[in-house]
Amino acid sequence: MELEIKKDLTSNWFKMLQDSICQKISEIEKNKVEFKSTIWKRNHKKDEGGGEFKILENGKVFDKVGVNFSKVHGKFPKQFQKNILGAKKNPNFWASGISVVMHMKNPLIPAMHFNTRYICTTQNWFGGGIDVTPSKKDNNEKKEFHKILRNMCNRHNKNYYLKYKKWCDEYFYLPHRKETRGIGGIFFDYKKDNFEKDFKFIRDVGTTFENIFQKIIRKKIKNKWTRKDKEIQYIKRGRYVEFNLLYDRGTKFGLQTGGNVKGILMSLPPLAKWK
């Protein structure tokens, strides 16, 4: 399959998924709060693509949720090339992806994060993941969440779940705090062995995330919470901010490749606290 066809297939999927996720979020909010959409360009002087990020704030269910789609191309800065697969000798790249971050009004509902991407340098690969960050422990929720991910991974390869769960646990870790960001999930990168199989897996990750966030939210949407629960959530959000600004590769990638700053930092919660 030609590379241009692969680019079209992946970017079209990411855009469709963005629209689908936003529709489901609006349905949860009963269409009473609207997304604010911002279309952006990577480079106004050159045609280097861009994207659209959609943010919904101050909902009945969501404190803030951002759904970002991007499709960009250009050249990596020299100091950045050595860190990117296939970019050491040739700085040209193309990338498309979708990322979602949900910060919930009800502190008993966890924050949720998802992203998938397709990056082309002299090599072409998929990456992405799903992870959940509760502010209050719920072992049943944790078991159910990981069971869904395991079943999804097993549809494609029996080795995926343990491999990608371990990768997620190691990636979403705050060394300076010596603690994980949440209850993990799956994380993967550099999937480039078989485009058809890998793209099928990527689509399944996307639709599985849609099912997961709806299931978790609808199960707890009416649960009563206290002011103390909210304060604990604010502290946990502080940890979330620390990870995203200090360690997150997607944040660094976006900022170092001329991405839209507001779109990149949409992952930050509307309010966080530190003791």
- Ranges of H-type helices in the chain: 3-28, 78-81, 139-154, 160-171, 195-220, 227-246, 249-256, 261-264
DSSP string computed for 49-115: EEEEEEEEES-SSEEEEEEEEEEEEEE--HHHHTTSTT-SS--EEEEEEEEEEEEESSTTSPEEEEE
Chain position carrying tokens 């860190």: 83
Taking residue 167's Cβ as centre, other Cβ atoms within 10 Å add up to: 17
Give the gyration radius of the chain's Cα atoms: 18
Catalytic residue list: 113
Give the rounded distance of the alpha carbon of 272 from its chain centre. 19
